Amino acid sequence: MPRPGPRLRLVDVAERAGVSLATASRALAGREGVSEEVADRVRQVSRELGYVANPYARTLAGGASSTVGLIVHQIDDPYFSEIASGVLELAAEEGLLVQIAHSGRDPDHELRQLRHLIAQRVGIILIAGSGYDDQRMETEARTELAEFQRAGGRVAVVGRHSLGVDAVLPDNEAGGRAIGAHLLELGHRRIAVAAGIPGLTTVADRLTGVAAALAEHGLTLDELPVVHSDFTRDGGRIAAEQILREHPESTAIIALNDAMAIGVLSALRAHRVPVPERMSVAGFDDVSVAADLAPSLTTVRLPMTQMGRMALGLALKPRTTRPRRRSTGQTLVVRDSTGPAPQN
């Protein structure tokens, strides 16, 4: 197996192949202007020697950086770690490196991370996670990204952002509609929603979907308790406590992501509220543990790993004049946490 010597340079490869530095560079980059024969020989030698280009030199000289910057809200949230996993998979196949940065669900911090990645001259920037209803931030980010793209950088996002870039769009609205319809069909009318912090487009879109389902049954969201708190397990717990306290007549809780649903289940267990006999619970995302909770969680499945691949895939293609959009699809997964509305 070729051992990449620590100080093997392109000149060495060139010399050994009996060509000039420039030719070797062209051959390895697959650029034209080299005869097939020579190009083959160079590639052959390069492989034999186990040559790996120095990315610092390459980038400095003007070649595009082959590293991908990925911004996630929080890497230890399963939603994001599954997306990251998809990105890492495809990146490995393409020989790209992935730098990961946290945004912590803070628009300002996200902007700072974004600038940092740009300053670091990554070639591709991927932003996973919800957009924000924060005009100022989105505008600044948009400007920053436009400049980055003008300099040849590629950008893609997962989720609805108004950044004018390629996007992978989870079917949040359709999912919300599906989960709402499911509960309504089971006879639930007093439905409470444990929603993430307002200002996240993901929260808004999922709510819109739920509202649409309600509308078909002559209900509106305004009549129902919608409790906003952190888009995390703890947020779910807190929301559930509040719902039990202020709206004890509820027969179902829709959590707008699985992390919150887990918190909701935990709070209900603490209060000895039987699920689903007394209260149905539904989540969103279908993170991998959703099936292993007890009761197992009814939720909307989003193909997270696939979404990570799709985002990088978009960024890898040449830029088009109009930003592309790819929908992910969604599937309602009915498990044991939802059941018929109690009669009383």
Q: Which residues are at the interface with a second copy (CB under 8 A)?
A: 3-4, 6, 52, 54-57, 59-60, 65, 67, 74-76, 78, 81-82, 84-85, 88-89, 92, 97-102, 115-116, 118-121, 147-148, 151, 233, 262-263, 265-266, 269, 288-289, 291-295, 305
In the list DNA, a second copy, none, the entry touching 29 (Cβ below 5 to 8 angstroms by class) is: DNA
Which residue number, 146 or 212, has a Cβ lying nearer to a second copy? 146
In the list a second copy, DNA, none, the entry touching 9 (Cβ below 5 to 8 angstroms by class) is: DNA
Residue closest to 137 by CA, chosen among 105, 171, 99: 105
Q: Is 278 near DNA (CB under 7 A)?
A: no
Q: Is 19 near DNA (CB under 7 A)?
A: yes
For the bound state, the minimum distance from the C-beta of residue 146 to DNA, rounded and expressed in Å, comes to: 19
Segment interacting with DNA (CB under 7 A) among 31-39, 211-219, 274-282, 319-327: 31-39
Show the site string, 91-110: x = touches DNA by CB under 7 A, - = not: --------------------
Characterize the bridge pairing of strands 124-127 and 67-72: parallel
Residue 56's contacts (CB-CB under 8 Å, 6 or more residues apart) are: none
Strands (E), the chain: 67-72, 97-102, 124-127, 154-158, 166-169, 191-195, 226-228, 252-255, 280-282, 299-301, 325-327, 331-333
For the bound state, the minimum distance from the C-beta of residue 184 to a second copy, rounded and expressed in Å, comes to: 27
Of 1, 3, 30, 62, the residue at the interface with DNA (CB under 7 A) is 62
- Would you state the structure tokens that stand for residue 7, as one six-digit string? 């100080």
Written as one string, the DSSP assignment of 265-304 is: HHHHHHTT--TTTT-EEE-SB--GGGGGSSSPPBEEE--H
Place of tokens 């559930």: 240
Number of residues that bind DNA (CB under 7 A): 30
Helices (H), 120-217: 135-150, 172-185, 201-215
- Would you state the structure tokens that stand for residue 339, as one six-digit string? 């059941």
For the bound state, the minimum distance from the C-beta of residue 57 to DNA, rounded and expressed in Å, comes to: 3
For the bound state, the minimum distance from the C-beta of residue 117 to DNA, rounded and expressed in Å, comes to: 16
Q: Is 20 near DNA (CB under 7 A)?
A: yes
